[in-house]
Amino acid sequence: MALSDFDLVLFGGGGDLAMRKLLPAMYNRHRANDLPPAARIIAVGRHPWSHDEFLNTLEQNARPHILQDHFNDAAWESFRKRLSYVSLDASDGHTYGALAQTMRNDADNKTGTPVTRVFYLAMPPNLFATICRHLKECGLATPESRVVLEKPLGRDLASARQINHEVGQVFAESQIYRIDHYLGKETVQNLLALRFGNVLFEPLWRREWISDVQITIAEELGVGNRLDYYETAGALRDMLQNHLLQLLCIVAMEPPVSTSPNAVRDEKLKVLRSLKRFTPQMLTQNVVRGQYRSGHVDGVAVPGYRKEPNANPTSRTETFVAVKAEIDTWRWAGVPFYLRTGKRMADQLAEIVVRFKKIPHSIFARPNSSFQSNSLIISLQPDEGLQMNLMAKTPGDGMRLRPVELELDFRETFKMPRMDAYERLLLDVLRGQLTLFMRSDELEAAWEWVEPILEHWEQEGDDPLPYTAGTWGPAAASALISRDGLQWREESIPEK
């Protein structure tokens, strides 16, 4: 689907997200000839930069994040010509005049087609409503324009509802794109294809055949230069409330009637509303909170969270969280979903593990065989692919079984240029495709389920459990899953 002419306005256009992700993503789409000739990108920020100063910043901070084999001098130079920079104070409506003068009216478009206006708010959420209100006051928020909201979308249910209400005073729900970049990953798209494009798994995708589901997003990195943000967010708000719950929804939702936005989002909402609510006992047993201490990652000594530069030496901010979730539906009753995320972990990975139940009876002599349950592993990063673990006979005399892996590496299989998650999602915004973006009721349902955890932590006043950097988190995370007679995937892999 070809794009119509657009003005993409990046609030926070000189910031970290714009330089690392958004502008490189738009360059890649420019290089692939996906952008109309007259499409423009307008970066907005508080820095009083001239146009040349902004381009110099782009050269220093955005260009290094473009893959070398994607870089082309001619394409880069022509991409730079699409860019402009506007200095304004997002909280001061009097400074929006410069942006209004820079943006085009439909009458200004030489192609004769309407200009799509997209406002991407890579800004703190306390500014969302203010920016939207000022856009309306200066006539830029039209019924045809769109607004993209970056996470975090609130700190709790009340603030999320307030954001939804105040942004909704300016933009209709159909104009609001609440972005979660994990939903733009190729493997998440392939999970939809795997589930709903094949008859093979659907009869097995239920409690009768599935033992448990594990969803892990682990990072080797610490907080880096995001300490100020992370100190107010923590792992639960930063990762679990959005990324992990959205992945859970894709795994657990019922087949939608189509891929239309509301058909998919209706089914995701049903999952969120079916999550078993926490009792006080469940909050104690089914939730683990941790914070990394000094250790070694890839053989390099790293400081603990409280010893990071400018850190609070008594901080209670969690850098790790593991949760056992349950879904009260006919399909999933009794199947535990284990969600886990953390910083300074033993490896960097994001994966979904769907583990099937054990065979009801073995006809093979156990001393000669090493049995494992079948499992499907959907890898999101660092490599994207699918892996099916099965049992097979080893070559030679006798009947000895051992686990084998059937792997699908998307890069090797399709051998074609791949889009980054932000590339795909930005194109969807520009096309007006809402399927991969959260609806307001989804956002609020996620906060409703998460908020009792936050309240419990606040009331108990305990420190997070310490774990050594370079490990898989606190020992309590292993205990969380072992109480059900299960193990995290890395613990269940036999040593060679």
- 270 CB burial (10 A radius; 0-12, 13-18, 19+): middle
Q: Tell me if 145 sits within 8 A of 177, measured CB to CB.
A: no
Q: Tell me if 240 sits within 8 A of 215, measured CB to CB.
A: no
Residues paired with residue 383 on neighbouring β-strands, in sequence order: none
Nearest to 417 by CA among 82, 83, 34, 74: 34
User: How many C-beta atoms lie closer than 10 Å to residue 477's C-beta?
Assistant: 24
Give tens-digit pLDDT for 290-309: 999 999 998 899 999 999 99
The structure tokens 């097979």 sit at 392
Which is catalytic among the residues 47, 165, 243, 456? 243
Q: Is the pTM of this model over 0.85?
A: yes
- 292 CB burial (10 A radius; 0-12, 13-18, 19+): buried
pLDDT bracket for residue 69 (50, 70, 90): confident
Token pair, residue 92, equals 């001061």
pLDDT bracket for residue 323 (50, 70, 90): very high
Domain definitions of the chain by residue range: 6-150, 183-417+440-492
Q: What is the pLDDT of residue 152?
A: 80
User: How many C-beta atoms lie closer than 10 Å to residue 206's C-beta?
Assistant: 14
Token pair, residue 46, equals 């508080």
Pairing outcome for strands 6-11 and 116-121:
parallel
For residue 107, pLDDT over 50 is answered with no
Q: What is the pLDDT of residue 380?
A: 87
From residue 28, alpha-carbon distances to 2, 24, 37, 111 in Å are 16, 6, 15, 24
From residue 150, alpha-carbon distances to 119, 177, 467 in Å are 11, 9, 30
User: Percent of the chain at pLDDT above 70?
Assistant: 94
Catalytic residue check, 243: yes
Q: What is the pLDDT of residue 496?
A: 43
Give tens-digit pLDDT for 428-485: 999 999 999 999 999 999 999 999 999 999 998 889 999 999 999 999 999 999 999 9
Residues paired with residue 41 on neighbouring β-strands, in sequence order: 8, 83
Nearest to 23 by CA among 3, 44, 37, 38: 44
Q: What is the pLDDT of residue 112?
A: 57
Angle at 249 between CA 248 and CA 254, to 5 degrees: 125
b/e string for 89-128 if b means 16 or more Cβ within 10 A? ebeebebbeebeeebeeeeeeeeeeebbbbbbbbbebeeb
Token pair, residue 41, equals 């990108």
Token pair, residue 75, equals 């394409």
Give tens-digit pLDDT for 346-382: 999 999 999 999 888 888 766 655 678 899 999 988 8
d(CA 53, CA 59): 10
Residues whose CB falls within 8 Å of the CB of residue 345, separated by 6 or more in sequence, listed in order? 218, 219, 220, 320, 470, 471, 472, 473
Average pLDDT over every residue of 330-337: 97
Residues whose CB falls within 8 Å of the CB of residue 284, separated by 6 or more in sequence, listed in order? none
Give tens-digit pLDDT for 18-48: 999 999 999 999 999 999 999 999 999 999 9
For residue 148, pLDDT over 80 is answered with yes
Q: Tell me if 142 sits within 8 A of 34, measured CB to CB.
A: no
CATH of 6-150, one of 3.20.10.10, 3.40.50.720, 1.10.443.10, 3.40.1020.10: 3.40.50.720
The structure tokens 């030679």 sit at 396
Gyration radius (Cα) of the chain, Å:
24
CATH top class, domain 183-417+440-492: alpha beta
Q: What is the pLDDT of residue 372?
A: 83
Q: In the β-sheet with 146-149, what is the strand arrangement from edge to edge? A: 83-87, 40-45, 6-11, 116-121, 146-149, 176-178
Pairing outcome for strands 349-356 and 336-342:
unpaired
